[in-house]
Chains A and B, each alone.
Chain A
Amino acid sequence: MKIVMLWTDAMIFLLLATALASGWYIRQRPHLLLPWQRVARSGAGMVSLLVLSLFVLVGLLDTLHYRAALPDKSNGHTVYSPEVLSAFDALAGGLRSRTEKTYSAPLASYLYAKESIATADGKTLRDYPRLKFGGAHLGDPGREGAGDVAQRALLGAAGGLLVGGLFAWVVVVGWAKCSLPTRDAHASVGGHSCPPYTLRALMIAALIIAALIGAVANLSTAYHVLGTDKVGQDVLYLSLKSIRTGLVIGTVTTLVMLPFALLLGIAAGYLRGWVDDVIQYVYTVLSSIPSVLLIAAAVLIMQAYIEMHADWFETAASRADLRLLFLCLILGVTSWTGLCRLLRGETLKLRELEYIQAAQAFGVSSFRILTRHIVPNVMHIVLIAVVMDFSSLVLAEAVLSYVGVGVDPSTMSFGTLINAARMEMGREPMVWWTLAAAFSFMLVLVLAANLFADAVRDAFDPRLNRTEGAT
C-alpha cells in the first residue's frame, strides 16, 4: 500500500489543523468562547452541526488516499494499482465493488431492463434478470422481498438506536460536566448551561439519525438501497463519494479567498491613499465581470492547459484532483471581492475609533495595530461570510458542472451525478433514483449548512445581539 497525498488532501489537512488550532485557542479565551456558547444554545444550530459533522466525517475518511499494491511484482519492485482509493472506499467495501450490469431501482432484486435469459431446458426467455447482488439471497423476491427489507431495516434501526443511545448517554454525561457552574471567575462571564430543549432536540435528532444510518447500513449489505446507475454502480456509494467534492469546494475556496480578502480589505481600509485606490480598482474590475463568465473563461483556459500537459500526472485521480483544486482557486479569486469590500468598510470605521487613535498616539506600529486591534475586531465578519458562503458554493458546484466548467467528469460530485442523470428522466419507465439521491444529499448538506450559518450569524452579529437581548 502506498499513501497518496493529493493536493486537495493537503489543503483539507491544512484546514483541519487550522480549525483545531483555532478551536484550542478559542477554548482558552472566555471572551472568544462566549459567542460559540450562544451557538451551542441554539437547537437548530446544534442539530445542523451534528448533521454537518457526519458529512465532514465521510469527507475526511474519503480524504485519506492510498494506492493498493498489485499482487504480481515485476522484477522485485512492488507495482501499485493506478486506481487511487481512500479509507472510505476500504470501509464501504462491498458498496463499491458490488456493481450490477446496469440500472436497477432502489431495493430491487431484478434488473431495470429485460434480457434474454437461457432457461434450464435450453429455451431463451425474455424477462427481467435477477441482480447479481441486490437481494441475491432471496428465493422468491416477489414474495419474500418486502418482508425481508422490513426485517433488515428494523434490525438495523434497532442496532443504530442502541449505538445512538450510547452516544447520547456519553454526551449527556459530558454536557452535564461542562455545564456545571464553575467557580472560575472567567468562566462565569460567558453564561453556561445550555437550555434543556437544545439538549433534547439534539438527542432526538441523534437518535433518528442513528436509526436511519443503522437501517441503511444493514440494508446495504444485501440490497442497493438507492438503486444503481447506468453502469451498475451503487448510487448510495456515488452520493457518499460526492460529499467530499462538495466539502472541498465549500472550504478550500474559502482558504484561497481569505488571504486576498483579509489582507487587501484591511490594507485598503487602514492605509487609505493610493493603496486604497489601487485595491478598489482591482476589485471593481474583478466584480464587474459576471462571475459565471469569469469562472467559465478561467476554467476553459485551465482545461486547455491541463490537456496540453497531460504527461505531468501519474494517475487520472491526480489530474482530476488538480482540476478540482484549480476550480477552488478560480472560485476563490472571483469571490473575494464581496468580503474585501465589507472588511474595507469595517476597517475604515474602526480606524477612527478612540482605542485605535490611542494606540497610534502611544506610537504602536501600524503592523501591531493591524494584528492586535483591527484583525480580531473584524473576525466576526469573516466568520459569518465564510459560513454563509459555504452553502452557496456547494450549490454553485452543481450548476458549474452542468454548464461544463465544473469538476472533472471522472470526479464524483453532485454536479456530475445530476448531469449524468438528467437524461434518464426521459426513459420509460423513468429512472428517477440517481437524481433524487443527488438532490436529497445536496439538500440535506446545504440545509444543514444554512441553518448552522444562521445560528453562527445570530451569535456573532453585534447588530442582531441587541435585539436578542431585548426579547
Chain B
Amino acid sequence: MIAYLIRRLLYALPILIGVNLLTFALFFVVNTPDDMARMQLGIKRVTPEAIGKWKQQHGYDKPLLFNARASGSEKFSDTIFYNKSVGMFVFDFGYSDDGRSIGREIQTRMVPSLAIALPTFLVGLLIYITFALLMTLFRATALDMVGVALCVFMMSVSGLFYIIGGQFLVSKLWHWVPISGYAGGVDGIKFVLLPVLIGVMGSVGASSRWYRTIFLEEIGKDYVRTARAKGLSELRVLFRHVLKNAMIPILTGVVVVIPLLFMGSLLTESFFGIPGLGSYTIDAINAQDFSVVRAMVFLGSVLYIAGLILTDISYTMVDPRVRLQ
C-alpha cells in the first residue's frame, strides 16, 4: 500500500510538470510579458520605460527559460520560468498583481469555500442516491417515468436559472435568508443555507439519473436474481446487495471531486458574495491577474490528481478483491 502510494505520487510528478509547462506556455509564450504590461497599463499611450518598470516591479524582466548572461546554475534559476513556475511545486505561489501573497489568500479563502462546498456535496449525495434508489425501487412504473422525466427537465434548466430564481424567490420575495454575504461560525448558517440548497438543486436531475442508471445496471445481474430466489424482500435486495455493489461505479465518480471541493464553485460563490477561492478566481479572471489564475490552475490539477489517488484507495475499502501493490 505504502509502496503503491509512493509510486502513484511519483507518477503524478511528470503530470504536474506537464501542467506547469502548459500553463507557462499559455501565459508567457503566447502572451509575452510586454503584452501583459501593456494590458495592465492600458493599451494606448504607454511608453517603453513604463513597460520596463512594470516588468521589473512584477519580476518579468528576465529571459523566459534560459539566462545566457548569468553564471553557473543561475543560467536556469534567474529566469521567469524558474521564478514564477518552479516555486509552485512547493506551493509557493508568489504575489498577485495587487501585491498580496497568493498562498496566504488561498489559506484564508479555503474555509468559506469548504463551508459551502462540503455541505452541498454531502447533502447532494444523500438526496441523489435516495431519489435514485426510489426510482429503482419503482422501476418501470408511472412513478419511475415521472421521476426520469423530471430529471431530464431539471437537467435541461440552466444552472444560472436556479441561482437567480432561488435568490429572487427565497431572499427577495420571502425574506427567509440574506441574499448574499458570509460570516464565520454559527452566524454563518443563514448565509450557507441558500447556496447549499441551490447547489443541490442544480445537479439533482443529472446526478439522480446517473445513479439510477448505475443501480439499474446492477439490478440486472445474476446475484440479484439469486438474492430474490432466496426470498429476500425487494428493499433488502436493494439496500444490502445492490447499493453495496454499486459503490464501485459510484466511488469512481464521487471521490475524485472531494479534494476539488477546496476550490469552491465559481458561480455560487460569486452570486452569493462568498469570499472563497471560487470568487477569488473569478475576480482574478475579471482583473486579468495572470499569476492568480495560474496558481489556481496548478492548485486545481494537484487536487484532481489527489482525487484520483484517493479513488484508488477508496476501492480497497469497498471491494475486498482490489489490492493495491
Contacts and interface: CB of A to CB of B under 8 A. Distances in A.
Interface residues of A, number: 43
Contact of A297 (B14, B260, B297): B297
B15 interface: yes
Nearest to A282: B18
Given A285-B18, A443-B158, A301 B27 contact: yes
A265 to B, nearest CB: 19
A467 interface: yes
A293 B19 contact: no
Interface stretch (A177-185, A221-229, A303-311): A303-311
B239 interface: no
Contact of A304 (B31, B164, B293, B294): B31
B281 interface: yes
B160 A285 contact: no
Interface residues of B, number: 47
Interface in A135-174: none
A290 B300 contact: yes
A448 B155 CA distance: 12
A interface, over-half SS? helix
A422 B19 CA distance: 35
A53 to B, nearest CB: 18
Contact of A398 (B156, B158, B301): B158
A451 to B, nearest CB: 7
A446 B156 CA distance: 5
Interface in A404-443: 404-405, 414, 418, 422, 425, 435, 439, 442-443
Contacts of B281: 293, 296
Given A285-B18, A467-B220, A300 B285 contact: yes
A10 to B, nearest CB: 24
Nearest to A426: B172
Interface string A288-300: 1110111011101
Contact of B293 (A300, A308, A447): A300
B300 A298 contact: no
Interface in B146-189: 152-153, 155-161, 164, 168, 172
A296 B158 contact: no
B156 A391 contact: yes
B15 A296 contact: no
Contacts of B80: none
A308 B35 contact: yes
A375 to B, nearest CB: 27
A236 to B, nearest CB: 19
A285 B300 CA distance: 12
A109 interface: no
A399 interface: yes
A290 B304 contact: yes
B26 interface: yes
B157 A443 contact: yes
A20 interface: no
A454 interface: yes
A281 interface: yes
Contacts of A425: 164, 168, 172
Nearest to A421: B164
Contacts of A467: 220
A297 B26 contact: yes
A402 interface: yes
Nearest to B267: A399
A116 interface: no
Contact of A288 (B30, B31, B155, B305): B305
A425 B164 CA distance: 9
Sorted nearest first, the 10 A-B pairs with minimum C-beta distance are A285-B18, A290-B300, A447-B156, A288-B301, A446-B156, A288-B304, A293-B297, A289-B301, A439-B161, A296-B285
22 contacts: A281-B15, A282-B18, A288-B301, A289-B301, A290-B260, A290-B297, A293-B300, A294-B297, A296-B285, A296-B293, A300-B290, A304-B288, A307-B43, A395-B158, A395-B159, A403-B270, A403-B282, A418-B158, A425-B172, A439-B157, A439-B158, A443-B158
Interface of B: 14-15, 18-19, 22-23, 26-27, 30-31, 35-36, 38-39, 43, 152-153, 155-161, 164, 168, 172, 220, 260, 263, 266-267, 270, 281-282, 285-286, 288, 290, 293-294, 296-297, 300-301, 304-305
Given A284-B15, A403-B267, A446-B157, 20 more contacts: A281-B18, A286-B22, A288-B301, A288-B304, A289-B304, A293-B281, A297-B23, A297-B26, A297-B293, A300-B290, A301-B27, A305-B31, A398-B158, A399-B160, A403-B266, A439-B157, A439-B160, A443-B156, A447-B156, A454-B152
